[in-house]
Chain A
């Protein structure tokens, strides 16, 4: 347990305290319906944050995920309307997301452009391209089996939850047990040293962007099937949400370290604040302020922790 919660400690304690407080101050928060709503709303955030964690661990950043999310959703809707078998939708989302992620990764890795600039450019470009193409119109008149994959709400939700859980656990497990993931940490920690150790660091960085793209594409489709239409302006602010979750989870923005368990805690912590405010009968305007406060506190905790670490331990 101690090993599980080193750097994500601050987030974990805050989450635990907040949940205990809610149990006393607003017990109705714990109704099944409410918890399910919160989970549903955060499934896509968790998937994207998982990919974002790996991008941040390789010491890069991707702020284009919100735009990727919108494009994958609209494309998914159009494909479904065009007659694509409904079970293929998630795979279409993954394929489109991967392609867009590969464009980011290629520019960062092989053209050596800084990732913040590349993804800022693609964020704006894809968003505007989508606006131009759709004229802002939603994708409507979707086939009847689009919503919940035609399974009905209960079964559809079960599919969403289990797909997300299985993917998250698989990536969590892989991050500990696959040699390839160790290359990710090595590259983020010291790219030149990793290169000299025989790691293809360009490929590692490229792969991280493809992975976040794929997860964003999947998240977008899983999110879209909750509704009967696909909006053209989905995913605004998603990049900040996912980066914040990663940071609150204890992953330093400078790369090389960070763990997915922390990201899960980060997503949960930031995700429950909005709904909790309603139950505590506070103005929803507080949500962003509280989220900002939490980010600040984690970053401070992190700075203090790494200062303690830097003390020479051995002569």
Chain B
């Protein structure tokens, strides 16, 4: 399979970020950094990217932030894809029935409701913690995946081999597990890869609003502190440009992979709109 350059670039980005995330403590120890130096110190020989409002080295925070952002991205995307798969398969397989109607309605409702305000309301009611954020993202982003899966499953369902198997008396569950699901894996993977950047961006948004777990530092949280602790006001660009850049690059990396993957799978350069 010839890998287009764009996808290659994406893979490169994602691979680097993942490596950074995994090797965080190692990388951090290689770089000279001091705990509790002067707050808001610009980049200098002791702190590559300067310090934040607590005197912490920004570079080290970014490295560790990679861990959290990636972790949340993957976990949330996993939930998105699992829920999307289940609902999509059920709705698509029982295409036209009551189950399909109900599930599709739920999917459509969630698609229409503005996700960020809803996420805000949910997170505010729950305690802002790591798992709550993952849960909220997972619970709100599955609709687009569900739709795509549903369409594909409905397509598969209408194929001859399915009716043939059914006439043989094969149970639905068996058909689903042995024949339907394997055929949607490709799409699923693409959706998963596309869900990660959404999750990362979304978590960053929530963190920025102060709704994430302060016990775990993420890039979005760094931006939050840069704004609320006077970093922006002082012109301490090193406190917010690096984290934002990391968010953007990481998200971009995943999207490059995901979109070129989808192109390959669906054969045409179409990005279904409602699934954005």
A binds B: no
What residues make up the interface of A, taking CB atoms closer than 8 Å to B?
none
